[in-house]
Amino acid sequence: MDHIAVLIPCYNESKTIGKVIHDWKKELPSAAIYVYDNNSTDDTAAIARKAGAIVRKENQQGKGNVIRRMFREIDARCYIMVDGDDTYPADYANEFVNAVLTNHADMVVGDRLSSTYFEENKRPFHNFGNSLVRASINHLFKSDIRDIMTGYRAFSYQFVKTFPVLSRGFEIETEMSIHAIDKKMNVQNVIIEYRDRPDGSESKLNTYSDGIKVIRTIFRLYRNYMPMRFFGILGLVLFMIAFAFFLPILITYAQTKLVPNFPTLIVSGFIGLAGLLSIFTGLILLCISENNHREFEFRLQLIDRCYKNLVEHSHDKKEI
C-alpha cells in the first residue's frame, strides 16, 4: 500500500508530462507517481517512464475509464489526481495531503475559479460552462463546492474504494462531486493558481459535446439521488397543466350545468393521474435511495476495516 499516490491520466501529453512528473517528484519525493496512458499516439508513455513514473495502460478511451482503472488497481492512504498538461502546479501538494491525512477530508477540490482561471483560460465558453455547472450543482444539491470541473483533487482511501465510476469521459469530475455531496462526505476546497496550457499542447475537452454530456450527467444524477424532488416537481407541473385544462370546464359547468368539452375533461383527468403517478414514483424511489444510503454506511465500515488491515500490513513490511 502506497502512502501517497499521484495519479496522472494521460492522452498525448508528450510536451508536458516530463515536467509534470519532475515537479511532483520534487514536491513529494516519497510519493508513487502513476501515469496511465490512454492510447497515446506520441511518446507520452516513454517520456513518463524515463522520468521515473510507474506507467500503465488503459485501452478503453475516455478519462472516466482511466480513473476507473486507477481506483481499482491502486491502494494508497492518500490519492492525488492531476492532469498531465501542466496546468496545475504541484506547489499545493502538501496542503492537499494534510487535508486528507490530518483533517480527514474525503475529497479535496482544487479551486481554480476563485483565482486565475478566468484570466488564464482563453476559451469563453469554457469559462461560462464551468460557472453554469458550479451554480447548477450547488443550487440543486445544496452544496458549496467551488469548482466542479477541476481535474486537481485529492481523495481518501474510503472515497476511492466506495466511488462507483459510471462515466466514460470528462463528466467524471461532475459525478465525483455529486457522489461526495450525496454521501455526506467531508469535502474541502483549496484555492489554487491555474495556468493555461503551454504552446503546442491541445485540450482534449470539446466545449459543446462534452458540455452536453456534463449537463446530461447532472440531470441523471439529480433524478437518481434526489428522486422525490425530481418526480415531485414533475408531478406538480402535470397537476398544473391538468388544472389549466380543467378550470374552464369547471367554470362552464358551474354556470350552465353542462360539460361541453368532454374530451378535454378526459385529457385533464389522465394528466392529473400522470402527476399522481409521478409523485408515487418519487416516494418509492426515495425509499430505495434511503436503503442504498444504509447499505453504503455498512460498506463504508467494511472498507474502513480493510484500510486498517492494509495500513498494519504496510507497517509490518517496513519493520521486516
Q: How far is CA 281 from the centre of its chain?
A: 26
For 2-225, CATH number? Answer: 3.90.550.10
- Strands 32-37 and 107-111 come out as unpaired
Residue 317 clears pLDDT 70, i.e. is over it: no
Q: How many helices (H) and strands (E) does the chain have?
A: 11, 7
Q: Range with the lowest mean pLDDT among 25-29, 206-210, 216-220, 252-256?
A: 206-210
pTM to 2 decimal places:
0.84
Q: Return d(Cα 81, Cα 36) in angstroms, integer.
A: 11
- Name the β-bridge partners of 54: 34
Could you tell me which residue, 69 or 203, shows the higher pLDDT?
Answer: 69
Instruction: Tell me the mean pLDDT in the region 301-307.
Output: 88
96 vs 127, which has greater pLDDT? 96
- 3 state DSSP class of 68: helix
Q: Are strands 2-10 and 76-81 parallel, antiparallel or unpaired?
A: parallel
Distance separating alpha carbons of residues 45 and 55, to the nearest angstrom? 7
d(CA 171, CA 11): 16
CB 194 within 8 A of CB 88: yes
Pairwise CA distance, residues 104 & 102, whole Å: 6
> pLDDT at position 52, please?
93
How far is 64 from 169, CA to CA, in rounded Å?
5
Q: Confidence band (pLDDT; 50, 70, 90) for 120?
A: low
Is 22 in contact with 16 (CB distance < 8 Å)?
Answer: no
Residue partners of 204: CB distance under 8 A and separation at least 6: 11, 12, 170
- Beta bridge partners, 204, equal none
Of the CA atoms within 13 Å of residue 72, those in its CB half-sphere come to: 11
Distant-in-sequence contacts of 260-268, Cβ < 8 A, 24+ apart: 268/242, 268/243
Alpha carbon dihedral 60, 149, 178, 134, in 10-degree steps, equals -150
CA distance 158 to 33: 20
- CB distance 125 to 209 below 8 Å: no
Cell of 188: 474541502
Res 177 pLDDT > 90 = yes
Per cent of the chain over pLDDT 90 is 61
Cα distances (Å, whole numbers) of residue 263 to 37, 85, 259, 266, 268: 62, 62, 10, 5, 9
Per-residue cell: 148: 466542479
Q: Which residues pair with 5 in a beta bridge?
A: 32, 79
Residue 133 above 70 pLDDT? yes
Banded model confidence at residue 107, pLDDT cuts 50, 70, 90: very high
